[in-house]
A and B are shown apart, each in its own frame.
Chain A
C-alpha cells in the first residue's frame, strides 16, 4: 500500500472540505445575515401595513402585448378586489374580460391564500359553465402575456422570505433593495429583487430570476396615484421578458375605492350571471 498517496489524498480532501465550509460561511455572511433578513421582512411588513384597510377597489385595465418584431395585440378587462380582513386569508379578486370579443364575458374568480393553493373558478360564457380550475398554474402566462398568474395575485407577506440587500437611489427616489424568495409551491422563480421606494413603500421595480437563476423579466410600475390619502396604485406597469424580447404593458383607469364593488359578486354561484 502506498501510504504517502493515502496521506496526500486525505490532506487534499480536508483542504477541499475546509475551503467549502469557509466559502459557505463567507457567502452566508454576504447574503443572509439574520439582521438583513429581519430588515427585509420589516420592509415587506410595512408595505403590507400601508395597504391595510382599503376595503375594496374597482378599475378597468388595458393590456398590450408586443412581440419581438413589434406586432401587438390588446386585451381589455375589468378588475374588482375585495379585501379580506382576516390576515390568515388573502384578498378575493374578480376579473371580467371585455376584449378580444371571442373571450368577452369570460370571468375569473380567485380567492388568494397565503401558502395554500388559491381557490379559482372560471366562467365560460359559450357553455354558461362555471368550472373550478387548478391553481397549481403559478408560472403559466396570463392570457398569453408576459405576466404569470403569480405576478398578478395579491401581495401577502408570508408568501416570500426576505433579505435586505442595500439602499440605493432609483430615479429621483431612494430605494431599499430587497431580495424575496417565493415560499409557495410551483413558483417559476428562484428569486425576485425588488426596489421599494423608501418614502412611500411602493414597489417600483422587480427583477424576476427563473428557476436556473438567470434574469428572466423586469417589471417597472409608474404613474402612481394616491387614493383616500393613503393607498398608492400604479397606473402603468411594464414587463419586459429579457429572454424572448416580448413585452406587456398594463394601463389602468382611475380606481374606485369603497364604491360600487358588490361583495355578493365574489360568489361562484354569481359568476355565471355577471355582466
Chain B
C-alpha cells in the first residue's frame, strides 16, 4: 500500500467542503422558508422535502490503470430536493438530483431528473405521465426482472440507483390482479465512471459514441406490460418488455484521440420476466427468472433463494436475518457480460430495532467456477431526527474475468445525509 497523497486529499476535500457548504446553506435556508404551515398553490397543497449528503470514499489500494487518478480519499456531495403538489387525487412531483464529485468531473459529477410527473388516481385505475421510477422484483442480491429504469452506475456499482425514465404508465386495479401498461418514449444511456475515476472497466467507456441497433437510436419507443397478483402466501409478478436493452454490450473501438476505448452497444430485446415470493412464517422464498432474446443467442437467467428471520434473537429486540440466493445466467459470449453467471450470495442482516433504526448487512457473492468473491458490508443508523449515517464497504478477492478491472477498487464509503 502506497502512502496517501496529502496534496490530492486536501485538494479533493477543499472542493468538496466548498460544495457542501453551498448545498447546506441552500438546503437550510429553503427549509426555513417553507417550514411553516402547508403552502397553497393552484388549489393544491405544496410540499417541499428532500436531502443533501456528503460522501467520503476511501480506496486503500492504488488504481490498476495508469490513467486513473491515484487518490485514496474522495469527497463528493449530492442534493435531491423533492417538490410535490397535491390535489385531491392528482399529484405533481419534481425530484431533481445532482452530485458534485471533484474526483470525477466527466462521470460521477452529474445531474438527473429522477421524477417529473403527473399522477392521476381513481378507484380502479391510475396514470403516471412524465419522468418516473418503478421497481419490479423480489430478490436481494440481483435485480433481474427490474428493467424499466436505467442504472445510474456512477452512483453505486450495485446498480440500485436509477435514472429517471420518460413514461406513460396506466395501471388497472381489478379483482384478478393489477395490470400495468408502459409506453416508454426515449432511452436513457447507462452512466459510467470517467477515464480517470475508480470502478471503471478495463478500458475507458466512450459514452459520447453509443451504438444502437435501432435506426431510431435513443428515440426508440419501448413498451412493457406488468401483471401483479397476490394469491394467499404468494406474491406473483409477470412482465414483458420490448425495446432497447438497458444493459449495453461493451465493444472495443478506437477513441477520437486514437486510444482504445469501449463503446456501449444497445440492442433491441424482448424480455419475459417472472417474480414470485412465498411468505411462510419467518421464511421468504424468492424467485426471479427472465428469458431474453435479441442480444446474442436467446438465453434464460434466474436468481432464487430465501430470507429467514430470527425475530427477537437471544431475548433481545434485535432481528437476525439469514439470506441465501443462487444465480444462474445462461447468456453466451455474444451478450453483455455479467458477473452473475453461476454464483452464490450468502448474507446476514441484523436490525437492532432501536430508536436510531440501527441496521447491518454483511454478505459475499462467490463465483462457483472461478472462485471470485465480492464481499460487502453495510451499516446505517439515524444520528438525529434529520441526520442519517451510512457506511458501506465493498472488496474483491480472487479477481478473474468478471472483476479483474476493479480488483484494486475495493473501498469503504461513509455517507452523512441531512433531510429537510
Q: List the interface of chain A (C-beta within 8 A of B).
A: 65, 67, 73-74, 99-104, 117, 119, 127-134, 136-141, 143-145, 186, 188, 262-264, 267-270, 272-273, 275
Contact = CB atoms under 8 A, between A and B. Distances in A.
Interface of B: 49, 51, 84, 86, 91, 119, 121, 123-124, 126, 128, 133-135, 138, 160, 171, 173, 178, 228, 230, 235, 277, 279, 281-284, 309, 311-312, 317, 319, 353-357, 382, 385-386, 388, 417, 419-420
Contacts of B388: 102
Contacts of B121: 264, 270, 273
- Give 6 closest A-B pairs by Cβ, nearest first: A101-B419, A269-B178, A144-B355, A136-B282, A128-B135, A100-B385
Contacts of B356: 144
Given A134-B279, A262-B123, A273-B121, A101 B355 contact: no
Given A132-B279, A268-B235, A273 B119 contact: yes
Given A73-B355, A139-B311, A269-B228, A100 B382 contact: yes
Given A264-B124, A267-B173, A273-B119, A134 B284 contact: yes
B228 A104 contact: no
B176 to A, nearest CB: 12
A168 to B, nearest CB: 33
Contacts of B355: 65, 67, 73, 144-145
A197 B281 CA distance: 36
A140 B173 CA distance: 33
A34 to B, nearest CB: 33
Contacts of B282: 134, 136-137
26 contacts: A65-B355, A67-B355, A74-B385, A100-B382, A100-B419, A101-B385, A102-B417, A103-B357, A127-B160, A131-B138, A134-B309, A136-B282, A137-B309, A138-B311, A139-B312, A140-B319, A144-B353, A144-B356, A264-B173, A267-B173, A268-B235, A269-B171, A269-B178, A272-B134, A273-B119, A275-B84
A132 B284 contact: yes
Given A262-B123, A268-B228, A273-B126, A137 B311 contact: yes
A136 B124 contact: no
A186 B357 CA distance: 23
A134 B178 contact: no
Contacts of A139: 311-312
Contacts of A264: 121, 123-124, 173
B135 A129 contact: yes
Given A263-B123, A268-B230, A140 B277 contact: no
The interface residues of chain B, by DSSP majority, are classed as strand
Contacts of A130: 135
A125 to B, nearest CB: 10
Nearest to A275: B86
A117 B281 contact: yes
B123 A101 contact: no
A98 B160 CA distance: 24
B49 A101 contact: yes
A127 B385 contact: no
A263 B228 CA distance: 18
Contacts of B386: 100-101
Listed residue (A101, A104, A143, A275) with the most chain B CB atoms within 10 angstroms of its CB: A101
Nearest to A211: B315
Contacts of A128: 133-135
A104 B419 contact: yes
Contacts of B353: 140-141, 144
A117 B281 CA distance: 7
A140 B313 CA distance: 10
A134 B312 CA distance: 13
Highest count of chain B CB atoms <10 Å: which of A102, A127, A264, A275: A102
A136 B281 contact: yes
Nearest to B50: A101
Contacts of B173: 264, 267, 269-270
A102 B228 contact: no
Contact of A104 (B49, B128, B230, B277): B49
A134 B354 contact: no
A93 to B, nearest CB: 17
Nearest to B351: A140
A231 B225 CA distance: 45
A134 B385 contact: no
Nearest to B321: A134
B329 to A, nearest CB: 22
Contacts of B277: 132
B396 to A, nearest CB: 24
Most buried by A among B134, B353, B417: B353
Contacts of A272: 134-135
A134 B382 contact: no
A144 B354 contact: yes
A136 B49 contact: no
Given A101-B385, A273-B128, 15 more contacts: A65-B355, A100-B419, A101-B386, A101-B419, A128-B135, A131-B138, A133-B279, A139-B311, A140-B353, A141-B353, A264-B124, A269-B178, A270-B173, A273-B121, A275-B84
Given A99-B385, A101-B49, A141-B353, A275 B91 contact: yes
A269 B230 CA distance: 10
A88 B263 CA distance: 61
A102 B319 contact: no
Contacts of B357: 102-103, 143-144
Contact of B419 (A65, A102, A129, A134): A102
Contacts of B284: 132-134
Contacts of A273: 119, 121, 126, 128
A133 to B, nearest CB: 7
B281 A134 contact: yes
Residue of B235, B279, B319, B382 most packed against chain A (CB within 10 A): B279
Contact of B317 (A103, A138, A140): A140
A103 B230 CA distance: 26
A101 B51 contact: yes
Most chain B Cβ neighbours within 10 Å, of A129, A139, A262, A268: A129
B228 A141 contact: no
